[in-house]
Structure 1
Amino acid sequence: MIVEKKETYSLISTKENSIQEFYKYFDKQADNFKNENLILELSNFINYKKEDFLLFLDIAQEKKNNGTSFVIVNAKANIEDFPEDFNIVPTIIEAEDILEMEAIERELGF
């Protein structure tokens, strides 16, 4: 797991060979990022199933309840396969846009 602190979020990238392996490690570290916006960049070269991404669904919901954002970056994921409020995008720029939009929504009370 590689962590880069940015101005408004932490970018976490994988170096593990599977999403399940990465999730196990990330889940143990999740409390360290409790009050931070997170972008998870999951390698496009890792083989995955829809269920692998859904491992992060509870964390995404918890982040939303805490007033922070959670976005997964992976160009191979089909966003149509996931709940509408589960943020999966193909690029980091789009992930940053989601963080900005959600910050505005929170400011407006949505």
Structure 2
Amino acid sequence: MKVEHKGHTTTIKDTESSFDAFLEKVTSQYNSYKSVNLIIDVTHDKSFNLSQLKQFSDLAKTHKKNKKSFVVVAKDIDFNKVPTSINTVPSLLEAHDIIDMEEIERDLGF
């Protein structure tokens, strides 16, 4: 797991050999990240699938309740089948764009 801090956003990249190990680390260390916008980057995991993405659902909901953004960056999944509760995009640039838009919405009181 590689963690990068940039301004008001933290990016966590999956470098684990298994998704379950990565999810366990993110979940167990969540309190360290609950006060910043969070990007979960799983693009290096070629076997990442929709069922694994859905396992982030509880974390995403909790993070949004704290008025922070939670975005997953994944490739090679069917974005039409992604649950609406999890912001999912194919690139880091789009993840940062989503966070910027959500920050503006929060500033405007939406």
Q: Would you call these one fold, judging by a TM-score over 0.5?
A: yes
Runs (4+) of structure 1 moved beyond 4 Å?
Answer: none
Aligned partner of 1:69 in structure 2 is: 69
Relative to the length of structure 2, the TM-score reads 0.92
Partner SS for 1:71: strand
Identity across the alignment (%)? 35
Structure 1, unaligned runs of 5 or more: none
CA displacement at 1:94 relative to structure 2: 0.2
CA displacement at 1:58 relative to structure 2: 0.7
Alignment coverage as a number of residue pairs:
110
Question: 8 Å contact 1:18–1:46 — kept in the other structure?
Answer: no
CA displacement at 1:18 relative to structure 2: 2.6
Relative to the length of structure 1, the TM-score reads 0.92
**1:16-57 per-position Cα deviation (integer Å, ceiling 9, x unaligned):** 123222101111111110101011110343313321111111
Structure 2, unaligned runs of 5 or more: none
Aligned partner of 1:48 in structure 2 is: 48
Q: Tell me how large the CA RMSD over aligned residues is.
A: 1.3
Aligned partner of 2:58 in structure 1 is: 58
